[in-house]
Amino acid sequence: MSNSSSLSVLLVEDSTLLAARLSELIQRLPDVDLIGTVESEADAVSRITALHPDVLILDLHLRTGSGFGVLRSLARGKIAQRPKVVILTNFGLPEYRREAESFGVEAFLDKSRDYFQIPELLRNFARQRVDSGAH
């Protein structure tokens, strides 16, 4: 079960293979707790609302819906506590990056080039959470 002092992460990824690799990577990190993996926009919004994750790792192209749809839901204030958002996509187009950044995402990563940055990003978020005294 979730440790309240751990950084909670929700993974939104429609590639079963990549979701499994990311899950394994995240579960090896101390003070980081993977609280779920979903593959659609509707499931993501539902889980964010129910679980209040600290961090959302979000693919832009999902089985149904899109990561941008999730970002729009966050922006409309339908979710009380906005998580930090890390975009992880195969579509690192400049216009996608600009649109994602307009929603205030914390990071925009290309799956093929930037995958390795996820552990350090999560460790930094966990450290910031501890430093701020959040539980």
Cα–Cα distance measured from residue 44 to residue 25, given in angstroms and rounded to the nearest whole number: 20
**Residue ranges in the chain modelled with pLDDT below 50:** 1-3
Confidence (pLDDT) at 134: 59
Look at residue 78 in the predicted model and tell me its pLDDT: 67
Q: What is the DSSP letter of 59?
A: -
Name the nearest CA neighbour of 61 among 18, 25, 8. Answer: 18
Chain mean pLDDT for the chain? 91
If you search the block for the tokens 């999560």, which residue do you land on?
Answer: 122
- Provide the 10 A C-beta neighbour count for residue 102: 10
The region, left, alpha or beta by phi > 0 then psi within -120 to 50, assigned to residue 57 is beta
Q: How far apart are CA 101 and CA 81, in angstroms?
A: 19
pTM for the whole structure? 0.92
Q: What domains lie within the chain, and their CATH numbers?
A: 7-130 (3.40.50.2300)
